[in-house]
Amino acid sequence: MTAWIADVLVLVGLAVMTLGVYGILRFPDVYTRLHASGKASFLGVSVLLVAGTIGGGPSAAARVVLIVVLLALTTPVAAHAIAQAAYHRREPMRAPGAIDESGNCPGAATPPRHGSPGA
């Protein structure tokens, strides 16, 4: 019975990763592609690791838990760093209805304010 559960989890993990790759190819800009790649890498790999633990036995359970925790901590940080780099390079948001709510674009030459030392 556990072999069936492991097989189903492998198929689910592969489906999640395949949908993530489709999202990377289909989405219009860096920011939305990051969403697809982050979900695919974390959820897909985590499900595959759980399937390996179920199919392989409990001896690897501690390692799988550690790997999943590390993925949960590092995947969002990496996606945020990539998004910040894209934002600093002024990559446009091409998704329909996307709004830059920051109010400024980094690196943009802004005129000095009246009364500031640079004026």
- Phi, then psi, of 40 in degrees rounded to 5: -65, -45
Give a yes or no: residue 10 inside a domain. yes
111 in a domain, yes or no? no
pLDDT, tens digit (0-9, with 9 covering 90-100), for 67-101: 999 999 999 999 999 989 988 888 888 878 777 77
Residue 118 domain-assigned (yes or no)? no
Residues 6+ apart with CB under 8 A from 87: 106
| 3-state class (DSSP) for residue 83 | helix
Domain that holds residue 15: 2-88
- pLDDT of 110 > 60? The answer is no
Domain count, the chain: 1
Q: Is 115 part of a structural domain of the chain? A: no
Q: Give yes or no for a contact between 71 and 49, defined as CB atoms under 8 angstroms apart.
A: no
Euclidean distance between CA atoms 32 and 24, whole angstroms: 8
